[in-house]
Amino acid sequence: MSNHQRHVLVTGAAEGVGRAIAQTFASAGARVVIADIQSADETLRLIREQGGSAEHVHCDVSSEASVVRAIAEAAELLDGRIDTLVNNAGMNGHYHLVPDMPLAAWEETLRINLTGTMLVTREATRYLAPEAATIVNVASNVGKRGLPYRGDYVARKWALIGLTQTVALELAPRGVRVNAVCPGPIEGNRIEDVMQRHADVEGATLAEMRAKWESESPLGRFVTPEEVASVVRFLADSASSAMTGQAINVTAGLVMH
């Protein structure tokens, strides 16, 4: 299916990489619906200014009732057919060593970041196009390695890759492909917040922490939202028709497995 005919649902697209993903599909002529708990007015404005088509439905992925309602509303806006689902909604997680992790913090991160993805996927599969539909989950480089102080977030991303592979097997008989993208640190407000937390613990400045993290990447930099979005679009397109159950790195070389 060509991109100009594609009906796309993107969760968590009010800002950041989700916004870039929504813009990328819309600029290719897709009809886009954004499901987000936040206002998506700025994303809608940017898309519409470029002549694109986009709508917003309110969705709290931590609430089953909200997800059921939002996905049904999104499907109606898309004439009952979803060609591509992009699961991007989530939170940064909390900042604790595992020996100090409050159970409530752990459960909140998994409820929003993992259970929410399962709920959206479950509901969206009812509306997936009968041929060549795709699901792309936004995972992370920390879904392939560990990271101190981020145990709740890391566990979710590892689990998301496992969920991606499981759903890929389950939906393959329907011709649905399911893949994940695993970004490295993405330029934007979220990574600034994460780096500041690490800097505070290590007694470093934000600039020192950025320099340290950038030096860990062979290309010596973070990735941009647009770079991640371009890979998401590739995984949704027929150009990747032989790919399913894959977790593709977009890390500037930080992770190579």
pLDDT band at 4 (very low <50, low <70, confident <90, very high): very low
Tokens 């439905």 found at:
57
209 inside domain: no
Has residue 54 been placed in a domain?
A: yes
**pLDDT tens-digit map of 209-222:** 999 999 999 999 99
In a domain, 151, yes or no: yes
Q: Which range marks the domain in which residue 109 is found?
A: 3-186+224-250
* Catalytic residue numbers, as ranges: 153
For residue 150, list its beta bridge partners.
96
**pLDDT tens by residue, 196-253:** 998 998 899 999 999 999 999 999 999 999 999 999 999 999 999 999 999 999 999 9
Separation between Cα atoms, residue 178 and residue 147, nearest integer Å:
26
Question: Does 149 map to a domain?
Answer: yes
Question: In total, how many domains does the chain have?
Answer: 1
CA distance 147 to 254: 13
Tens of pLDDT, residues 88-146: 999 988 999 999 999 999 999 999 999 999 999 999 999 999 889 999 999 999 999 99
Residue 182 belongs to a domain with what CATH number? 3.40.50.720
pLDDT tens track for 47-75: 999 999 999 999 999 999 999 999 999 99
What are 38's two structure tokens? 């936040």
Q: What is the mean pLDDT of residues 35-51?
A: 97
Q: Which residue has the higher pLDDT, 2 or 73?
A: 73
pTM over 0.75: yes
Q: Does residue 74 lie within any of the structural domains?
A: yes
Q: Kindly state whether residue 173 falls inside one of the protein's structural domains.
A: yes
Burial class (CB in 10 A: 0-12, 13-18, 19+), 17: buried
Task: Flag whether 207 is in a domain.
Answer: no
**Is position 76 within any domain?**
yes
- pLDDT tier at 189, thresholds 50, 70, 90: confident
- Distance (Å, whole) CA 44 – CA 23: 9
